[in-house]
Structure 1
Amino acid sequence: MHKGLKWLTSVAAIIIILFLLVARWGANLYVEWLWFQSLGYSNVFKTILLSELGLRFLVGVLTFIFIFVNLMLTRKTVLQRVNTRQYFENGDVITIHKSQLNKYLTPRFLTVTYLAISSTLAFFVSTAVTGDWVILQKFLHSTAFGYTDPIFHNNIGKYVFSLPFYQFIYQLVNWFIILAAFTVALVYFLTETGQEGFGKLFSSISARLHLSFLAALFFLARAWGFRLEQYMLLYSDQGVVFGPGYTDIHARLLAYKALFIIAILIALVIIINLFLRRFKLILYSIGALFLASVILGGIYPSIIQNLVVKPNELNKEQPYIANSIKYTRLAYNLDNVEIKKFPAGKKLTAADIENNRDTIKNIRLWDWRPLQQTYAQLQEIRPYYELQNIDIDRYMINDTYRQVMLAARELDQEQLPRTAQTWINQRLKYTHGYGIAMSPVNEMTTEGLPEFFIKNIPPVEVIEKEVTQPEIYFGELTDNYIIVITKAKEFDYPVGGNENAYTTYQGRNGVQMGGLFRRAIFALAFGDYKMLLATDVKNSSQILFYRNIHDRVPRLAPFLRYDSDPYIVLGDTGALYWMWDAYTVSDMYPYSQPFSGRNNYIRNSVKIVVNAYTGQVDFYIADNKDPLIQTYAKIFPGVFKPLAEMPEDLQRHIRYPADLFSIQAEKYTVYHMTDTEVLYYQEDKWSLPTEKFFNEEVDMEPYYTIIRLPGEAKPEYVLILPFTPKNKTNMIGWMAARSDEPNYGKLIVYEFPKQELIYGPMQIEARIDQDTTISQQLTLWNQRGSSVIRGNLLVIPVKDALLYVEPLYLQAEQSKMPELRRVIVAHGDQVVMEPTLDIALHKIFGDEIDMDRTIKERPPVPGDNPPATLKDLINQANQLYNEAQARLKDGDWAGYGEAIARLKDTLNTMSEQAKQEP
Structure 2
Amino acid sequence: MIAGLVILFFIFAGLYTDVLWFDQLGFLSVLTTQWIATAVLFLIGFVAMAVPVWISIQIAYRKRPVYAKLNSQLDRYQQVIEPLRRLAMYGIPALLGLFAGVAAATRWQVVLMWLNRSEVGRKDPQFGFDISFYLFDLPFFQAVLGFASAVVLISALVVLATSYLYGSIRINGRDVIISKAARVQIAVTASVYLLLQAVSIWFDQYSTLTSEGSLITGASYTDVFATIPSRAILAGIAAVVALLFILTAVIGRWRLPIIGTALLIVSSLLIGSLYPWVVQRFQVDPSAKTLEKPYIEKNINLTRDAYDLADVEQIPYNATTTAEPGALRADATTTANIRILDPALVSDAFGQLEQFRQYYQFPSNLDVDRYMIDGKSQDTVVAVRDLNIDGLNAGNTWVNSKTVYTHGYGVVAAYGNQRSADGQPVFLESGIPTTGALGEFEPRIYFGETSPEYSIVGAPEGTDSIELDYPSGSDGAGQTYTTFSGDGGPKLDNPFKQLLYALKFQSEQIFLANAVNDESQILYDRDPVTRVQKVAPYLTLDSEAYPSVVDGRVKWIVDGYTTSANYPYSTAVSLSDAITDTETPPQPFALDSINYIRNSVKATVDAYSGEVTLYAWDDKEPLLRTWQKIFPSTVKPMSEMSGDLMSHVRYPADLFKVQRSILGQYHVTDPGSFYSKDDAWTSPNDPDSPASNPTLQPPYYLTMQMPGQETPSFSLYTTFQPDATGESSRNVLYGYLAVDADAGGTDGERADGYGKMRLLTLPKDGTVPGPGQVQNVFNADPDVSTELNLLRQGSSTVLNGNLLTLPVGGGLLYVQPVYVQSTGETSYPLLQKVLVAFGDQIAFEDTLDSALDVLFGGDSGATAGDTTVPVTETDTSTVSPTDGDPAAEPAPPATTTGDPATDAELKALLATANETLTEKQAALAAGDLAAFGVADEKLSETIAKMLALLGE
TM-score range, shorter chain: 0.7 to 0.9
Q: Which of 646, 654, 658 pairs up with 1:663?
A: 658
Q: Which residue of 2 aligns with 1:322?
A: 297
Higher relative helix content: 1
Shift of 1:851: 8.2
Alignment of structure 1 residues 362-761 onto 2, 5 Å = 362-388=337-363, 389-417=365-393, 419-461=394-436, 463=437, 465-466=438-439, 468-486=441-459, 489-495=466-472, 499-573=478-552, 575-596=553-574, 597-693=592-688, 696=691, 698-726=695-723, 727-740=729-742, 741-761=751-771
Q: Summarize the Cα distance change of 1:307–1:703 in structure 2 as closer, same or farther, 3 Å threshold.
A: same
Shift of 1:515: 1.4
| CA RMSD across the alignment | 3.2
Alignment pair present for 1:773 and 2:752: no
Q: In 2, Cα distance between the equivalents of 1:240 and 1:67? A: 45
Q: Summarize the Cα distance change of 1:779–1:99 in structure 2 as closer, same or farther, 3 Å threshold.
A: closer
Q: Which residue of 2 aligns with 1:810?
A: 820
* Mapped contact 1:446–1:857 kept (Cα < 8 A): yes
Q: Summarize the Cα distance change of 1:43–1:98 in structure 2 as closer, same or farther, 3 Å threshold.
A: closer
Alignment pair present for 1:191 and 2:166: yes
Aligned-partner residue type, residue 583 of structure 1? Y
**Residues 406-450 of structure 1: CA deviation (Å, up to 9, x unaligned):** 111111223321x32222222211111111221111222222221
Q: In 1, Cα distance between the equivalents of 2:819 and 2:247? A: 83
Q: Which moved more, 1:337-346 or 1:717-726?
A: 337-346
Q: In 2, Cα distance between the equivalents of 1:852 and 1:172? A: 65
Q: Which residue of 2 aligns with 1:821?
A: 832
**Residues 614-638 of structure 1: CA deviation (Å, up to 9, x unaligned):** 0000111112231111111121111
* Mapped contact 1:607–1:621 kept (Cα < 8 A): yes
Give SS of 1:692's match: coil
Q: In 2, Cα distance between the equivalents of 1:195 and 1:853? A: 92
Alignment pair present for 1:173 and 2:148: yes
Alignment of structure 1 residues 88-103 onto 2, 5 Å = none
Q: Which residue of 2 aligns with 1:19?
A: 5
Q: In 2, Cα distance between the equivalents of 1:665 and 1:359? A: 23
Give SS of 1:582's match: strand
Q: Which moved more, 1:673-682 or 1:873-882?
A: 873-882
Q: In 1, Cα distance between the equivalents of 2:717 and 2:140? A: 40
Q: In 1, Cα distance between the equivalents of 2:555 and 2:775? A: 38
Q: In 1, Cα distance between the equivalents of 2:375 and 2:293? A: 55
Shift of 1:715: 2.1
Shift of 1:286: 2.6
Q: Summarize the Cα distance change of 1:99–1:85 in structure 2 as closer, same or farther, 3 Å threshold.
A: farther
Q: Which moved more, 1:360-369 or 1:389-398?
A: 360-369
Q: In 2, Cα distance between the equivalents of 1:470 and 1:432? A: 10
Shift of 1:759: 2.8
Shift of 1:268: 0.6
Q: Which residue of 2 aligns with 1:156?
A: 131
* Mapped contact 2:420–2:868 kept (Cα < 8 A): no
Q: In 2, Cα distance between the equivalents of 1:852 and 1:76? A: 91
**Residues 704-729 of structure 1: CA deviation (Å, up to 9, x unaligned):** 10112334343210111122233322
Alignment of structure 1 residues 743-892 onto 2, 5 Å = 743-782=753-792, 784-798=794-808, 800-815=810-825, 817-846=828-857, 876-878=914-916
* Mapped contact 1:511–1:544 kept (Cα < 8 A): yes
Q: Which of 21, 36, 58 pairs up with 2:22?
A: 36
* Mapped contact 2:687–2:775 kept (Cα < 8 A): yes
Give SS of 2:417's match: coil
Q: In 2, Cα distance between the equivalents of 1:571 and 1:678? A: 48
Q: Which of 91, 108, 118 pairs up with 1:133?
A: 108
Give SS of 2:649's match: coil
**Residues 317-360 of structure 1: CA deviation (Å, up to 9, x unaligned):** 11111111111111111111122233431766665545544322
**Residues 388-414 of structure 1: CA deviation (Å, up to 9, x unaligned):** 140001111122211010111111223
Seq. identity, %: 31
Aligned-partner residue type, residue 732 of structure 2? N
Give SS of 1:335's match: coil
Q: Summarize the Cα distance change of 1:103–1:131 in structure 2 as closer, same or farther, 3 Å threshold.
A: closer
* Mapped contact 2:168–2:179 kept (Cα < 8 A): no
* Mapped contact 1:710–1:800 kept (Cα < 8 A): no
Q: Summarize the Cα distance change of 1:803–1:203 in structure 2 as closer, same or farther, 3 Å threshold.
A: same
Aligned-partner residue type, residue 507 of structure 2? D
Q: Which residue of 1 aligns with 2:579?
A: none
Q: Which moved more, 1:512-521 or 1:778-787?
A: 778-787
**Residues 543-591 of structure 1: CA deviation (Å, up to 9, x unaligned):** 1121122321111111111111110101242x20100111110000011
Q: In 2, Cα distance between the equivalents of 1:722 and 1:883? A: 44
* Mapped contact 1:694–1:791 kept (Cα < 8 A): no
**Residues 351-373 of structure 1: CA deviation (Å, up to 9, x unaligned):** 55455443223212122222123
Q: Calculate the TM-score normalised by the size of structure 1.
A: 0.87
- What number of residue pairs does the alignment pair up? 852
Q: Which of 32, 38, 43 pairs up with 1:52?
A: 38
Aligned-partner residue type, residue 813 of structure 2? L
Q: Calculate the TM-score normalised by the size of structure 2.
A: 0.84
Give SS of 2:339's match: coil
Structure 2 unmatched ranges of 5 or more:
575-591, 724-728, 743-750, 872-885, 889-908, 924-935, 944-952
Aligned-partner residue type, residue 806 of structure 1? Q
**Residues 874-903 of structure 1: CA deviation (Å, up to 9, x unaligned):** 862315778999xxxxxxxxxx9xx99xx9
**Residues 366-387 of structure 1: CA deviation (Å, up to 9, x unaligned):** 2222212322333222222121
Aligned-partner residue type, residue 852 of structure 2? L
* Mapped contact 1:192–1:202 kept (Cα < 8 A): no
Give SS of 1:219's match: helix
Q: In 2, Cα distance between the equivalents of 1:852 and 1:637? A: 50
Q: In 2, Cα distance between the equivalents of 1:853 and 1:415? A: 37
Structure 1 unmatched ranges of 5 or more:
1-14, 89-96, 863-870, 886-895, 904-918
Aligned-partner residue type, residue 482 of structure 1? S
Q: In 1, Cα distance between the equivalents of 2:607 and 2:207? A: 45
Give SS of 1:804's match: strand
**Residues 477-500 of structure 1: CA deviation (Å, up to 9, x unaligned):** 225122111476111121289932
Q: Summarize the Cα distance change of 1:198–1:819 in structure 2 as closer, same or farther, 3 Å threshold.
A: farther
Shift of 1:84: 6.1
* Mapped contact 1:695–1:790 kept (Cα < 8 A): no
Q: In 2, Cα distance between the equivalents of 1:241 and 1:476? A: 41
Q: Summarize the Cα distance change of 1:351–1:194 in structure 2 as closer, same or farther, 3 Å threshold.
A: closer
* Mapped contact 2:163–2:169 kept (Cα < 8 A): no
Aligned-partner residue type, residue 184 of structure 2? L
* Mapped contact 1:467–1:570 kept (Cα < 8 A): no
Give SS of 2:593's match: coil
**Residues 36-78 of structure 1: CA deviation (Å, up to 9, x unaligned):** 1111112222222211211111221222222221121123145
* Mapped contact 1:188–1:202 kept (Cα < 8 A): no
Q: Which has the higher contact order (CA 8 A, sep 6+)?
A: 2
